[in-house]
């Protein structure tokens, strides 16, 4: 019985390690999702923003999103 408990504990530690490694990729996944969303836009969608003077606002929101992903990556590093 004790052998079974030891093996279960070993398995649990291994699973926790795998989950921890998977969580480190959260920031990378968010960045790729954002890239995918930008690439999925219709080619004409960006032209409308330029004509209406919204280009600066779009750049600011993109910059904020990238900064948020960077902060998430720093937090993940701190948890190691």
pLDDT tens-place string over residues 3-13: 999 999 999 99
pLDDT tops 50 at residue 37 = yes
Q: What pLDDT does residue 54 have?
A: 47
Query: How far from chain centre, in Å, is Cα 22?
Result: 11
More confident residue, 76 or 35: 35
Mean pLDDT of 14-27: 90
Phi-psi region of 53 (alpha: psi -120 to 50; beta: other; left: phi over 0): left
The answer to whether the pTM exceeds 0.85 is no
More confident residue, 70 or 12: 12
């Amino acid at each position: 019985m004790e052998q079974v408990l030891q093996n279960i504990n070993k398995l649990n530690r291994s699973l926790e390690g795998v989950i921890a490694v998977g969580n480190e990729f959260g920031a990378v996944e968010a960045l790729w999702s954002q890239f995918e969303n930008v690439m999925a836009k219709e080619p004409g969608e960006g032209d409308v923003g330029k004509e209406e003077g919204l280009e600066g606002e779009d750049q600011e929101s993109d910059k904020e999103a990238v900064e948020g992903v960077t902060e998430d990556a720093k937090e993940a590093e701190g948890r190691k």
